[in-house]
Amino acid sequence: MLNPVRDLDNNKIKNSCQKISNGVKLKYMTIAKIIDQTFLKKGATDDEIKNVCEETKKYGFRGLCVFPEYTKLAKELLKDSGIKLTTLIDEPTGTSSHKKRIEMVKKAKTDGSDEVDVVMKIDDFKNGKYDEVLKDLKEICQILPTKVIIGSGYLTDEEIKKASEIVKEAGAICIKTATLEDPLDRSELSEKAKHVRIMRESAPGILVKAAGSIRTLSDLKMMIDAGADIIGTSSGVEIVKEATGEEGEMIEEWRKVE
C-alpha cells in the first residue's frame, strides 16, 4: 500500500536530487533538504546537543541523527522545526538480540524520534539467516519509519543486492549504506557509489541513503549521481558553505563518522 506522507517526502527529495545532478545552480536549501546531519559523539554535553540542533535548524537540514541517549533532548530542541529526528539503533553491526532491538526502537519512539536508522543484523545476514533478518526488520518497521543500514562495505555486490531486496520486503522507507566503523574510507568513495547504484536498482520505490566519509560537495554529487536520495554526513555545514561559496573548515576527527 502506498504511504502518502512517505511518497510526498520521496518526491521532494528526488526533485532536489535531480536539480543537483543536472547541474542547476546550487542553493544551500536544495542541498540541505537532502542531508541528514549526523552527530554521533559519545559523552556529548547538553551544550553540544543544543549547538548541533541550532545548527541543524539554521541550515534547514532534512534531519538530524543522534545516539539514543540524546533523542529526548534533541526532540525538545527541534520542536516545531519540521526537521526529522532520527535515532541510530544497534551500531555498528546489529549484534543485539531481537528483543533488545525492539525495546530500543520503542524507546526511541517514546523519546520523540521521527525515524530510526537501524543496522541490519549483519552477522546473521552473512551467515545466510535471511528469514530471521527479514522477520526482525519487519517488526521494527511497524514501530517507526525505518531506514535500514546494511553495512555495504562488509558485503559483496550480490549480498548488497540480496540485502536491498530484504529491506524493501520488510517495509522500510529507506536503505542506507553505512554508519560507524564503515570499512570503506575516503579513498573508496567510488566503491560506495557503486554500492548505491546496486541498492537503487535492487530496491526500486524506496529511498537510498549514502553515508560514510562524505565530506565535500563533490562527494555529495558523486552519491546523488549514483542514485542516492539522502546524504548522511557530519559535514553538512561544510558542504552547504562550499556550495554557497563560503569557506568551510575541516571538522574534528570525532565528527568524521558519516
- Say which of 117, 124, 219, 229 is annotated catalytic: 117
- Say which of 162, 176, 192, 221 is annotated catalytic: 176
Q: Return all residues near 39 (Cβ < 8 A) that are at least 6 apart.
A: 48, 49, 52, 64, 65, 66, 70, 234, 255
- Say which of 209, 219, 221, 229 is annotated catalytic: 209
Q: What share of the chain is helix, strand, coil (3-state, %, to 5)?
A: 50, 15, 35
Contact 40, 70 (CB under 8 A): no
The question of whether 176 is a catalytic residue gets the answer yes
Q: Look up residue 225 and give its DSSP letter.
A: H
Nine-digit cell string for 131: 528469514
The question of whether 117 is a catalytic residue gets the answer yes
AA identity, residue 17: C
Query: Distance (Å, rounded) from C-alpha 214 to C-alpha 29?
Result: 18
Residues carrying an active site annotation: 117, 176, 209
